[in-house]
Every structure is written in structure tokens, then in C-alpha cells.
Amino acid sequence: MHNFSYLEEILTNLKNDGLYRELREVSSAQSPLSTINGKEYIIFCSNNYLSLANHPRIISAAKKAIDKYGCSASASRLISGSMTPHLKLEGNFAKLLSKEAATLFTSGWCANQAVITTLPQKGDILLLDKYDHASIVDAAKESPADFRTYRRENLSKLEKYLASSKYNRKFIVTESIFSMDGDMANLDELVRLKEKYGAILILDEAHSLGCMGKDGAGFAQERGLLEKVDIIVATLGKALGASGAIVAGEAIVKEFLVNKSRGLIYTTAPPPSNSAAALEALEIIKGENDRRERLWKNSDYLRRKLKEARFNVGKSSSYIIPVIIGDDFKVVEIANRLFKRGLFVPAIRVPTVPRGEARLRISLQADHTKAQLDMLLDALVEIAN
């Protein structure tokens, strides 16, 4: 028997610091009203933004694919794992995102890891927004290139590095909607700077795919800049109600990733049924604009009401709305009291956000009702103020 007592000490310290975390069992679909630990809760933490995770057309598409292709790809993409639904999904995404080619990965984490550790070389520099997702930051640490961070509210530091002659190539890496703050990148200015200095712009559309743009292609489409972004990473496990991720760019980018990305070469391909589900979700997203409209209506309403109640929602301008509390213990207490009332809103603490910025992270769905939003608002006013 190994002695794991050192782990117990570390876990005890997490509990003492208010940073301990536990899993909860969800035994229903990811709809606004879900079953957790055997009881119904209104969930305000799922990334099922367009309420598609249990859409009957998507479920049907996945079932048909299982009947035809089975439950598993059973091999990596470079062996026998590149199946018809995978290739069709890649083609459809390339078209949607105005790129020459697209590559399917098993997760957003894997996609960012592939792009950031594979494409930049020694002598290059990666320039990350200070609050980019952990998948981007961890990949940058593994990359042969140097990396630095900049603040999106002041791009002078970014421009300083872009103007430097020290590096061979410069890569700007940013999320479109930031997952903890709910605000958006200054994409127009990033495009201007990347063109001025000949940089490569990588945009993670994890939280905007499906929810923004006339076709649901994301933030870049919303800003009219799809063709100006060099590489787009888009996850399928949020608004599309599936799982996996797409990397879209020039054909040579796909060719290079297929040949050099360890996360593609050494991983079993996603189930073909998942790609079939994502394909159907794309069709729904393009044809049902009202889902996006309901999502944005919900977010505008709740954000306005929270501000009126004098809650600090930071810089949020999307359907991700933080309620910044500050203290780690207090935010956990508030989250637990909400949970006892049947409202699931997670407490976000260090290391996900900086110390002193602990928050409740509210993420909304198109199918949340006004009554559910009001219930959350009333509970917050009573508990947190």
C-alpha cells in the first residue's frame, strides 16, 4: 500500500482556505430544470446556451449514427478513426467559418493544446490575453515559443511586443467571450494590430459559437471579421449541445496539425454519433434565430436587474454574468444557500479567478423563463445583500 497521507494534508488545507470542491451527480438532461442528487434544481451554470443538449432532432441524429456507425470510432484519426460524420462536420465548419479547412478534436482543451504547442516554433512569441482560458495558458507553457500576456483594456503592451524585431513570428491568442467575466475581446483592434505587424491571430470562439453572428458562426462573424481571423477554435460542447472542438484555418494548418499534433495522433477519434449530433445542431442554429434572440433577451434582462439591485457584475456584456463577491468563504456560503433553495449557481474561486475576485458565475440558456430569472434575483437580494 502506498502512503497518500500527503494528499489528505493538501485537501485539508483546501478546505481550510475555502477552496475545496466536490462533484455533484446530474441525472437528467442539461435543461434549465435538471435533477441533481435526486432533486430538481434550476441550473444557472450549464453552457447549454441555446438549450440544444436534449433537442429531439439532435438526439435522433445521434441515434441514427449509432445504428449505422456504432458507438465508437475505435481508433485514432490517422488509423481507421476518420469516419464519414467527422469529415462531413469538418467540411461544414470550414464553410461556416470561411476557412479552407477544419480539423476535429476530442475537446476544446485538446484543440487549444494542439494549436498552441504545434504551430508556434522556437524563436516565436505567443501573446495571450491575461485572462485567457486555462487550456490556452497551459498550452503556452508547453509551447517551444516564448509567451507573454497583455491586458485587453490597454493594448499598448501587446503592441510593444508586436513591434519588436526579436521574434520570428508573433501569435495573438484570445477568447472572444471570456468565460469568467462575460465580456468580449476588442477584436477590431486586434485585427488592426495583427495586420499592421504581420502577426497571426488565433481566436477561441468557445462561448460565442452558435450564439452570435447571422449564421451562428460566432463573435468574428458578428463583427464582420471572419476572414480576418487566421485560426478559429470552436468547441461543440456548449451552444451546440455535443462535444469536441474544431480548429479552422488554411489547408496547410490542417495538414500540419494532422502530421504533428500529438493530441490528434495519439487519441481515439470522437464517436461518430457525436459528429452527427453537431451536424444537426448546426442546421438548427442556422434556421432558428429565435434561440439566440431569447438567450440575449434573458441576459440583458437579468444583467439590468442585477445592476439595479447594486450587484457587481463586472464587465459582463453577454449571457455569462458574474456576481463578484470577493471573499472565498462568503461566495461558497451564498452558493450553498442558493443550492438549498433549488438554485444551482457555482462559486468560482482561486485559481480560476484572481484572489479577491471570487464570484458566482451565472450562465444563461435560451429556455430559462422570466419567472426562473426573477426567482434567482429575489434569492440573491435576500441572501447576498
pLDDT digits (tens, 9 = 90+) for 293-331: 999 999 999 999 999 999 999 999 999 999 999 999 999
- Helix, strand, coil: what percent of the chain each, to 5? 45, 20, 40
Reply yes or no on whether 207 is catalytic. Answer: yes
Residue 8, domain member (yes or no): no
Mean pLDDT, rounded, of the chain: 96
What strand order describes the sheet that includes 39-43? 33-36, 39-43, 343-344
Reply yes or no on whether 112 is catalytic. Answer: no
Name the active-site residue from 176, 179, 208, 243.
179
Name the active-site residue from 207, 228, 254, 368.
207
Name the active-site residue from 90, 132, 204, 280.
204
CA dist., res. 209 & res. 334, Å (int): 31
CA dist., res. 368 & res. 42, Å (int): 9
Asked whether residue 202 carries a pLDDT value surpassing 90, the answer given is yes
Residue 7, domain member (yes or no): no
Reply yes or no on whether 86 is catalytic. Answer: no
Residues 23 and 73 both lie in one domain: no
Among 21-30, 195-204, 276-285, the range scoring the smallest mean pLDDT is: 21-30
Task: Report the domain count for the chain.
Answer: 2
Domain membership of residue 205 as a residue range: 56-287
| The pLDDT value given to residue 1 | 58
Q: What is the largest CA-CA distance in the chain?
A: 60
Instruction: Write down which residue in 287, 302, 323 finishes a domain.
Output: 287
- Cβ-Cβ contacts under 8 Å for 19 (sequence gap 6 or more): 328, 349, 350
Rounding to the nearest 10 degrees, give the CA dihedral for residues 130, 133, 138, 143.
Answer: -70
Reply yes or no on whether 179 is catalytic. Answer: yes
Name the active-site residue from 55, 86, 228, 238.
238
Residues 311 and 268 both lie in one domain: no
The candidate with the shortest Cα–Cα distance to 206, out of 243, 163, 259, is 243
Instruction: Write down which residue in 287, 303, 318 finishes a domain.
Output: 287
CA dist., res. 221 & res. 93, Å (int): 13
Residues 157 and 134 both lie in one domain: yes
Reply yes or no on whether 204 is catalytic. Answer: yes
Name the active-site residue from 34, 47, 112, 316.
47
Residue 12, domain member (yes or no): no
Q: How confident is the model at residue 18 (pLDDT cuts 50, 70, 90)?
A: confident
pLDDT digits (tens, 9 = 90+) for 237-266: 999 999 999 999 999 999 999 999 999 999
Helical axes 156-163 vs 187-197, angle rounded to 10°: 20
CA dist., res. 114 & res. 216, Å (int): 24
| The pLDDT value given to residue 22 | 87
Name the active-site residue from 86, 133, 170, 368.
133
Reply yes or no on whether 5 is catalytic. Answer: no
More confident residue, 384 or 91: 91
